[in-house]
């Protein structure tokens, strides 16, 4: 049968089940993966989507019939596949998830040995081409590998807790909103070990997503967390996406904390414990992170956004931490992978040691020093033309131009970054100033007028 491979993108495969993501595709992925990556033993798992178990069964069968042993960790979050692959020293891992996409979607993310990412530059399109190759005879099978159910929960929880000193933690009141995603099970496990009073919102995993798709990046999805924080007089609110590789924080007033300031906050946490270490940041917003890192004697290293680039750069410079303002945070001792569970634990440790200051008080100094309106998306028909026009205008005004990731233009007291979306007709604007909110608003309006015509 012909296979639909349109869902293969830069970092994963994703699509509607069963039209483009289905059991036959998963089976074929399983058949070709061991050959392409010389894999003898592979971890698999799935999030809480309703189609997850059947896709997982088909994938396991394909892997086994290719002669590969399968370590099935069952329902989990994406980072648990990273953990299982690295911790058990396996040859690869495949996570069945569509992250924050609507209910009818599913997909797969892939890593190879040492939990190194598999992207379009590094083997993902080889998988795509192999599963679509009709000259392959998928009816011929090798000796069947073993399929083993393995519980990695205890070891995973132990590693998460190793990031904080339990003696530093105070009995804070926190709101946790898992959005009926896979994080609920992990929160219940962590709760047994932590001194926090947890107010749980939408904590039961439910693939029907009865309270909406778990994607806190959307403005409408933040209301439940913010409301619960205010009503319960909580110290912090935390929300996750469906496969919990990203977490989002709210202060005690229910205010959403932009990912940019979280990068600086976490860089501080690591550099206080790792003197002189390197931290990675992406080019969209930079001044706050650079100042914090250099002020603590660390090295701030810029890297193009995207998990494959960040993980590669972290290995190259042995960075202890890497952060993107999109709420992806990466950790050297977590196999250089991203986690949505480690960040909030570190934040609560810092808050516990803040001498009674609230989270909003800790954040306001940085927000005022380097104000930013957050990422602004504009739908356009001619993104390349607009980018070229803006480069010309601001280059002629004396802006320092760099193109590490999209277009960055820097002046003495303000700077901006423009990026085109890889998948949608959008231009994404990020902008910051040195302590000048009025200038921030002026330059934001000025740029949006050009972008939106």
Q: Show which residues are catalytic.
A: 99
Termini Cα distance of the chain: 47
CA atoms within 13 A on the CB side of 449: 6
How far apart (Å, rounded) are the C-alpha atoms in residues 100 and 214?
A: 6
Asked whether the bond before 18 is cis by omega within 30 degrees of 0, the reply is yes
- The contacts found for 394-403 with CB under 8 angstroms, 24 or more apart, are 402/283
Q: Which residues pair with 45 in a beta bridge?
A: 95
- Residues 298-311 as b or e (16 or more Cβ within 10 Å = b): bebbbbebbbbbbb
Burial of 232 (0-12, 13-18, 19+ CB in 10 A): middle
Listing from the earlier edge strand, what are the strands of the sheet with 173-177?
A: 197-201, 173-177, 236-240, 247-250
User: What string of DSSP letters covers 67-122?
Assistant: T-EEEEEEE--HHHHHHHHHHTT-SEEEEE--TTS-TTEEEEEEEEGGG-B--TTT
Residue 349 neighbours by CB under 8 Å, 6+ apart: 164, 165, 168, 169, 269
Query: Given the structure tokens 């977590």, which residue do they identify?
Result: 334
Cα distances from 74 to residues 16, 92, 183, 200, 306, in angstroms, run 21, 16, 14, 23, 27
Q: For residues 324 and 258, is the Cβ–Cβ distance under 8 A?
A: no
- The residue ranges of DSSP E strands in 131-241, in sequence order, are 147-149, 173-177, 197-201, 236-240
Q: For residues 448 and 442, is the Cβ–Cβ distance under 8 A?
A: no
How far apart (Å, rounded) are the C-alpha atoms in residues 77 and 92?
A: 16
């Amino acid at each position: 049968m012909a296979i639909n491979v349109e869902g293969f993108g830069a970092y994963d495969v994703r699509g509607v089940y069963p039209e483009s993501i289905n059991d036959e595709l998963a089976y074929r992925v399983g058949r070709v993966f061991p050959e392409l990556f010389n894999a003898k033993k592979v971890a698999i798992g799935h999030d809480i989507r309703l189609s997850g178990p059947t896709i997982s069964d088909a994938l396991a069968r394909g892997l086994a019939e290719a002669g590969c042993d399968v370590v099935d960790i069952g329902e989990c979050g994406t980072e648990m596949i990273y953990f299982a692959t690295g911790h058990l020293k396996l040859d690869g891992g495949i996570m069945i998830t569509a992250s924050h996409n609507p209910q009818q979607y599913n997909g797969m993310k892939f890593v190879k040995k040492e939990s190194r990412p598999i992207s379009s530059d590094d083997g993902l399109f080889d998988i795509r081409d192999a599963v679509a190759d009709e000259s392959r005879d998928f009816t011929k099978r090798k000796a069947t590998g073993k399929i083993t159910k393995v519980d990695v929960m205890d070891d995973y929880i132990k590693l998460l807790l190793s990031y904080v000193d339990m003696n530093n933690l105070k009995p804070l009141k926190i709101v946790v909103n898992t959005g009926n995603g896979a994080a609920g099970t992990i929160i219940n496990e962590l709760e047994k070990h932590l001194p926090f009073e947890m107010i749980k919102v939408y904590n039961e995993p439910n693939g029907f997503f009865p309270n909406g798709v778990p994607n806190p990046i959307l403005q409408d999805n933040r209301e439940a967390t913010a409301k619960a924080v205010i009503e319960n007089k909580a110290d912090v609110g935390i929300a996750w996406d469906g496969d919990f590789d990203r977490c989002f924080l709210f202060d005690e007033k229910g205010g959403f904390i932009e990912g940019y300031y979280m990068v600086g906050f976490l860089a501080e946490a690591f550099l206080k414990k790792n003197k002189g270490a390197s931290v990675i940041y992406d080019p969209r917003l930079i001044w706050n992170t650079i100042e914090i890192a250099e002020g603590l004697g660390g090295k701030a290293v810029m890297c193009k956004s995207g998990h494959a680039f960040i993980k590669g750069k972290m290995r190259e410079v042995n960075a202890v931490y890497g952060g993107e303002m999109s709420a992806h945070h990466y950790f050297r001792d977590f196999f250089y992978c991203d986690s949505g569970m480690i960040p909030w634990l570190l934040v609560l440790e810092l808050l516990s040691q803040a001498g009674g200051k609230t989270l909003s008080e800790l954040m306001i100094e940085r927000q005022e020093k380097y104000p930013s309106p957050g990422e602004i998306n504009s739908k356009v028909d001619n993104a390349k033309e607009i980018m070229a026009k803006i480069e010309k205008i601001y280059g002629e005004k004396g802006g320092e131009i760099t193109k590490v990731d999209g277009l960055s233009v820097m002046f003495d007291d303000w700077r901006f970054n423009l990026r085109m979306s890889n998948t949608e007709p959008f231009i994404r604007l990020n902008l910051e100033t040195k302590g000048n909110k009025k200038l921030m608003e002026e330059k934001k309006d000025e740029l949006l007028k050009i972008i939106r015509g």
